[in-house]
Amino acid sequence: MFNKQLLPMQLQYFAENTDVTETAETETTEIDAEKLTDEQLAAIKEKFGFKDDTDVDKIIKSKHSRWQKELESEKQEAEKLAKMNADEKAEHERKKLEERLAEYERKEVLSNKGREAKAMLKEKNVQVNDEVLALLVKENADDTKVNVNAFVDYMESERKRWEIERNTGTTPKTVPEKTEFDVFKQAAEKY
């Protein structure tokens, strides 16, 4: 069905040369707030909305210290693995995999509970975004149901309050006299 002769295109004509192989180095680079260029500082200030250099320096130092802590923990893990024998390494890796599996199972349970909660809310004609849904969903089904019912009750009471507020008005204190407005008389008086 598709005829390749109709639109022959060389889409990779302007692409960069991909023959060059790049090697990724895992060395950590020292970040020094004093060595950053004015353009880099201005970009950081603009992105985060800071007014002076001390705020930017604090953020850079905190990020750098966090990166250093992560690197230290990885080094300690590597040293710990180097000291272990094969059985201990296998046991350690199994524990790590079990922890990851448990985390994924917990996320799956929360996702399923979220779908159920969204269906319950939809039955009650309440639409929520993902952030509100995350507040309502718990790992226990009973807690999730209690949270959803409480939220629905709250939303219904708020709807009633808004409806009463919208429909409540003040009546005018005085009624203006009824005056007839005749366009023809008014036009005749002009001339």
What sign has the CA pseudo-torsion 114, 117, 123, 126?
negative
Question: Which pLDDT does position 77 carry in this prediction?
Answer: 82
58-105 pLDDT, tens per residue?
A: 888 888 899 999 999 888 888 877 777 878 888 888 999 999 999 999
> How distant, in Å, are the alpha carbons of 5, 47, 54 from that of 34?
59, 19, 11
CA dist., res. 52 & res. 44, Å (int):
11
144-169 pLDDT, tens per residue?
A: 999 999 999 999 999 999 999 888 87
Q: At what angle do helices 53-83 and 38-48 cross, to 10 degrees?
A: 90
Residue 22 binned pLDDT confidence (cut-offs 50, 70, 90): very low
CA 101 to chain centre: 24
26-61 pLDDT, tens per residue?
A: 444 555 666 777 777 777 777 777 666 777 778 888
> How distant, in Å, are the alpha carbons of 6, 8, 9, 129 from that of 1?
12, 16, 18, 44
CA dist., res. 143 & res. 13, Å (int):
59
pTM of the model: 0.43
